[in-house]
Amino acid sequence: MGPSALRVAGLQRALEQLGCDVEDFGDLEVRIPETQQIGSTNLRYADAILEASTALRDIVRDSLADGRLPLVLGGDHSISIGSVAGTAGFYRESQKALGVVWLDAHGDLNTPQTTPTGNIHGMSLAILLGLGDPRFTAIAGFAPVLRAEHVAMVGVRDLDPGEREHVRRTGLTVFTMREVDELGIRTCIQRAVEIATRNTAGIHLQLDMDVIDPEDAPGTGTRVRGGLSYREAHLAMELLCDSGAIRAIDLVEVNPVLDDRNRTAELGLELVLSLLGKRIL
């Protein structure tokens, strides 16, 4: 329902008014949970998620090959497994690594051994870094899909114990909300861009709407107080746009069932416009 909420908010028309040439590829066919077996309790709905991730990988890769900038809409953050694999695979052909800026309240760094829930959307970044079930870590045809030195997280404020250990083990750069408070969002984003563009082809941005404070973005599945403000989020997008390094975008965790009059989708639309060049003057 997340992509539908963004379409209802007028995403395509707004992008076209900004001057973008937009082609909506429609929704991927994803098997709904009600009709599926949960499977392993520490890797819930793995078969259906792997199937959808593989299809998304190919669509993203083909889109890049056609000279387009993929904007992938979700849904929960498990979609990044397929989308980032597609982008990384495309640039691997020219022997270039991929950088990622990951805006999120959470780490998404659990594995089947550390997860408290079994939800794969809490494992996405770990999988892309080569940690976890081999069926997922090898989705791009190589592993790891990402190297920790090319990834920067911003806005994190809720980590499980196992995720903290994975941060330490991988050397991943994490700008928590404390760093955002102390340094300011401008410095955090600029440093994140430096990390994600150092010896890479560019940035695949991960924009999880729960990075924003739930006062402004209530329609997400795992709300955590104390996130980015409305203006901090827009400035982050404007700075990322200024970098000229965005190669693909995932916009995730829009859940209209939990939202207030589609506010979160409308904010997501605004942030995409700022990311793609809309300015006050």
Task: Give the active site residues.
Answer: 77, 104, 106, 108, 121, 208, 210, 253
* Cβ atoms 43, 118 nearer than 8 A: yes
**Separation CA 177–CA 217 (nearest Å):** 16
* Cβ atoms 278, 22 nearer than 8 A: no
- Kindly report the length of the chain: 281
**Separation CA 87–CA 62 (nearest Å):** 9
Closest by CA position to 127, among listed 114, 177, 199: 114
Widest CA span in the chain:
53
And the tokens for 9? 């908010």
Coil, helix or strand at residue 200: strand
Residues 6+ apart with CB under 8 A from 29: 52, 55
**Separation CA 96–CA 245 (nearest Å):** 14
What phi and psi values does residue 29 have, to the nearest 5 degrees?
-80, 115
